[in-house]
Amino acid sequence: MSKQDSSFALRRLHSLLGVIPLGVFLIQHLLVNHTATRSEEAFNVAAGIMANLPFVLFLEIFVIYLPILFHGIYGVYIAFTAKYNIGGKQYGWHSTYRNWMFLLQRVSGVITFIFIAIHVYQTRVQVFFGEEINFDLVAQIVDNPLWLVFYIIGIVATVFHFANGLWAFMVTWGITQSDKSQRVMSYVSAIIFVAVTIIGIRAILAFI
């Protein structure tokens, strides 16, 4: 396999992992957190169910953490080696828009990687030190205004990275090939970003 073919294959895998399983996990994770808007007990029940799934450690390592590490590390490599065309020649409104989205995708990816690493340390890693993932644990974190702002920024960046990444996924895998289909997908991605961001923000504010 040539270097070009290898790079294309890695980018397709990187794009795929961003949607399955990571995108699916993101939606599921935010929906579990959103149960906190109902009550403290509702969140504790939902979190308890997720924590007690069969083979939960295996699932976390091979379905979440390893895909995140690959997607994140390779994504950071792309972010720092990609060529950007923000100030270059533009070809219409959609071209300008996509160039900005390309840049924001890389920036949000770096923020997301940092956010997830800290979030995992503050929650999942604490389980090994005897903590239980419950309403109080999250509430103690976001009780600090700086951490609350950090989490809001992290949620917005992560959801944007996922929603805009769906557009790139559809193009990379040849699903949207025409200009019209790519333009429609831009609107779909924007709608998904707004809807899921609202879910995420409402969820984190419920812990205050």
Task: Look at residues 70, 76, 79 and name the one whose alpha carbon lies nearest to residue 17.
Answer: 70
Predicted confidence at residue 87, as pLDDT, reads 60
Q: Which two tokens stand for residue 80?
A: 């720092």
Q: What are phi and psi of 133, to 5 degrees?
A: -75, 105
Q: Find the largest Cα–Cα distance for the chain.
A: 56
Residue by residue, DSSP assigns 160-197 as: HHHHHHHHHHHHHTTS--SHHHHHHHHHHHHHHHHHHH
Predicted confidence at residue 129, as pLDDT, reads 87
SS3 11: helix
Predicted confidence at residue 91, as pLDDT, reads 55
CB 12 within 8 A of CB 180: no
Which tens digit of pLDDT belongs to each residue from 122-131? 998 998 888 8
Mean of pLDDT over the chain: 92
Which tens digit of pLDDT belongs to each residue from 24-75? 999 999 999 999 999 999 999 999 999 888 998 899 999 999 999 999 999 9
CATH number for the domain formed by residue range(s) 3-205: 1.20.1300.10
In the chain, the amino acid numbered 155 is I
Q: Residue 143 class from Cβ within 10 Å (0-12 exposed, 13-18 middle, 19+ buried)? A: exposed
Predicted confidence at residue 88, as pLDDT, reads 56
Which tens digit of pLDDT belongs to each residue from 110-155? 999 999 999 999 998 998 888 899 999 999 999 999 999 999 999 9
